[in-house]
Homo-oligomer: A and B are copies of this chain.
Amino acid sequence: MVKNQADLEIIKDAIREAGLRATPARVATLRLLRNSKSPMTHANVASLLKDSGIDKATAFRNLNDMTDAGLLRRTELGDHVYRFEEVREGEHQNGSHPHFLCIDCGAVSCLDSVKLTASSQRASEEIGEVTEILLRGKCNDCKQQTSP
Instruction: Please give the residue numbers on chain A whose beta carbons come within 8 Å of chain B beta carbons, in ascending order.
Output: 76, 78-80, 82, 100, 102-103, 109, 111, 113-117, 119-120, 123-124, 127-140, 142-143
Some 23 contacts from A to B, beta carbons below 8 A apart, are A76-B80, A80-B80, A80-B82, A100-B124, A100-B127, A100-B130, A102-B128, A109-B127, A111-B120, A113-B123, A115-B119, A116-B117, A124-B135, A129-B137, A129-B143, A130-B135, A131-B136, A132-B135, A132-B137, A133-B134, A133-B136, A134-B135, A134-B136
Indicate how many identical chains form the complex. 2
Known: A128-B138, A131-B137. 18 other contacts (CB 8 A): A76-B78, A76-B80, A78-B134, A80-B82, A100-B127, A111-B123, A111-B124, A113-B120, A116-B116, A116-B120, A127-B139, A127-B140, A128-B140, A130-B137, A132-B137, A133-B135, A133-B136, A134-B136
- With a cutoff of 8 Å between Cβ atoms, the chain B residues found around residue A82 in the complex are 80
Question: In whole angstroms, what is the CA distance A117 to B20 when docked?
Answer: 41
- With a cutoff of 8 Å between Cβ atoms, the chain B residues found around residue A100 in the complex are 124, 127-128, 130
Expressed in whole angstroms, the minimum distance between the Cβ of A54 and any Cβ of chain B is 24
